Amino acid sequence: MTWERSEDLPLKPGPVADVDPPLNASAAEAAIDKAIPRSDDKAIPRSDDPLLKLDVRFEEYLSRLASLRRKCHSVRHRLEQWQELVRSHRETFDQMVRRAEIPGDLPANAQMCLRLSAADTRLDSELEALIGAARSGLDILARVVAAFIPGASQMHRYTKVQGKLEKEHPGHPAEVLMSEARRAWVDEVRERRDSTVHYVALSAASTIEVHGTSTREISRTHVVVGIPHVPTKESPSIWWDPASVLLGGAAHRSMTVDIPGKERLEAHGIFDRSGRLILRHNGPPPPRPDVIDGDQYACELAQRFEAHVAALLDAVRTTPFPF
C-alpha cells in the first residue's frame, strides 16, 4: 500500500505513558479532562464540538490545557511538601512548648509574660513556592478561559481577562466566578506573592506565650506556623524572627514583669546557637503584624485553586460566548 498524502497515514492508538500523579486525581483535573473533546472512539480529539467555540487554533487550546494540568500538579505537590514540613516543625515546636516555664524567682505579686518563638526558613520557602504555583496557575487558567472569548485570545493575565469579561460579558457565569474570586481571595494571593518577592516578608514562625507568677501559671497560648494576616510591604523587623536566618539558628526570648504600683518592665534578647546574647532591647520592640494559621491558609489556598479551576472550565465549556 502506498500513501500520497499525510491524511492517508493510518494513525492508531498505541501504548499510553503513565502520568504521576494520576490524571483525574482532583475535581480540577477531572474538569480539564472534560474540556478535551474526543470522537466517539475516544481516541482522536476533534474541534467541531458544538460546545467548543474557540478563538484560537485547536492545537493552541490543547497546549494551554496541558500547561494548566501541570500547574494543578504543581500546586498539589507544593501542598504535600508544605504539609510534610509542617509535621516535622510541629514535633520540634512541641518540645519547646514543654520547656516553656515561668521562672520561680519573681518578686512577690509580680506577673510575667514569657514569649518564645521558633522559625524555619524552609517554611517560608515552601509557602512561597505554593503561593507562586497558585498565582501562576491562575494566569494559565485565564489563558484557557481567554481561548473561548472573542478578541481575548492573546490575553495572559487573570486580571485582564476578568476585566474584559466584566466590561463586555457581565453576568456570564465565567465573569461572575472570576469577579467573586478576585474579591474573595485572588487579589490577596497576588499581593502576598508580591510581598514575598520584594520584601521576603512571609515570616512563618511558631510562638508560645506563657502568663503567670512565680507560683502559678495563669494562661498559655501558642500559634503554630503563623503568617502575617495581611501581606506586608515592609522588610521584616529583626524582632520578627529572621534572626535565626542571620545567625544560622537563634532564639528570641522576651520577658515582661508587672509589679503593682510600678512601671512595667520589659526586655527582649536574641541569642545565637551557643546561647550568647547577640542583641538586647529594653522596652517593647516594633509591633509584630497580626498573624493567622499558616497551615490552614495553605490548605485553603490549594482547595480554592482546585475548585476554581473546575468551576471556571465548566462555565466556559457549557455556556458559549457569542461570536
**d(Cα 286, Cα 248) in Å, to the nearest integer?**
23
Q: Is position 224 within any domain?
A: yes
Unique residue bearing C-alpha cell 478561559: 145
Q: Is position 218 within any domain?
A: yes
Listing DSSP states for 104-120 in one string gives S-PPTT-EEEEEEEEE-
Domain span including residue 243: 102-124+202-294
Is the predicted pLDDT of residue 172 greater than 70, yes or no?
yes
pLDDT in tens, 122-147: 888 898 899 999 999 999 999 999 99
Mean per-residue pLDDT for 164-178?
96
| CB-CB contact of 214 with 105 (8 Å) | yes
Q: Is position 237 within any domain?
A: yes
| CB-CB contact of 81 with 139 (8 Å) | no
Q: Is position 42 within any domain?
A: no
Identify the band that residue 102 occupies on the pLDDT scale cut at 50, 70 and 90: confident
Q: Is position 323 within any domain?
A: no
Is the predicted pLDDT of residue 289 greater than 90, yes or no?
no
Mean per-residue pLDDT for 244-270?
77
- pLDDT of 253 reads 75
Domain count, the chain: 1
Q: Is position 108 within any domain?
A: yes
DSSP label of 262? S
Long-range contacts of 46-49 (CB under 8 A, 24+ apart): none
Is the predicted pLDDT of residue 257 greater than 70, yes or no?
yes
Q: Is position 308 within any domain?
A: no
Cα first-last separation, the chain: 44
Q: Is position 196 within any domain?
A: no
